[in-house]
């Protein structure tokens, strides 16, 4: 689809190559001296491998490794609009997007108020059938993904000083709408 759009837009032949490939072919391509640029989206380990393969040729590399960039809420923020603006970014595609908002840093003066505002919004999210227009959070992509998310929730609840929970359940492959607070930034579950 992306290639078709590039052709339709008039991009000259040879300017853009889209090649989904496994590890072996990807390593070969990233190391090829004829490339001017490599863009990679994937895991941190995969990104390191692409960077290492491209380095000997000084090939330009862009990596999207699903970073965990935090939203920062300052003391003078309009909290109602900020929370409403951040929430869809956290739950888009049921939280299964590399750009999903996974961390929020809040000034201590607004901390309790912010946690309560997020908790209230999450409680209002309807989980269920993704084909239902009223559903805000549908199932995860697979049972193994739900199990992974629930393992993070278990780790977080064991470590967090305080834990809040929103709507959720185990219908289909859904996971409870939850978040930990006061976590160390090195924890898998820090938010």
Decide if 190 contacts 180 (C-beta within 8 A).
yes
User: Both tokens of residue 3?
Assistant: 């290639």
User: Both tokens of residue 113?
Assistant: 């108020």
Would you mind telling me the total number of residues written for the chain in this entry?
Answer: 191
What is the β-pairing status of strands 103-106 and 70-73? parallel
User: What residues contact 139, with CB distance under 8 A and at least 6 apart?
Assistant: 94, 130, 146, 172, 173, 174
Which residues are the active-site residues?
64, 98
- The SS3 assignment for 172 reads coil
Q: Distance from first CA to last CA of the chain, Å, rounded?
A: 35
């Amino acid at each position: 689809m992306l290639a078709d759009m590039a052709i339709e837009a008039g991009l000259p032949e040879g300017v853009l190559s889209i090649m989904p490939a496994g590890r072996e072919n990807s390593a070969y391509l990233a190391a090829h001296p004829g490339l001017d640029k490599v863009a990679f989206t994937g895991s941190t380990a995969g990104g390191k491998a692409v960077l290492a393969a491209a380095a000997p040729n000084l090939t330009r590399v862009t990596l999207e490794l699903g970073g965990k960039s935090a939203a920062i809420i300052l003391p003078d923020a309009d909290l109602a609009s900020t929370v409403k603006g951040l929430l869809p970014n956290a739950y888009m595609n049921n939280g299964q997007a590399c750009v999903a908002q996974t961390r929020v840093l809040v000034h201590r003066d607004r901390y309790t108020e912010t946690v309560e505002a997020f908790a209230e919004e999450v409680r209002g999210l309807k989980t269920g059938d993704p084909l239902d227009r009223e559903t805000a959070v549908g199932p995860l992509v697979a049972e193994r993904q739900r199990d992974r998310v629930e393992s993070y929730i278990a780790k977080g609840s064991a470590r967090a000083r305080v834990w809040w929970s929103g709507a959720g359940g185990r219908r289909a492959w859904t996971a409870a709408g939850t978040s930990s607070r006061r976590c160390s930034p090195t924890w898998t579950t820090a938010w």
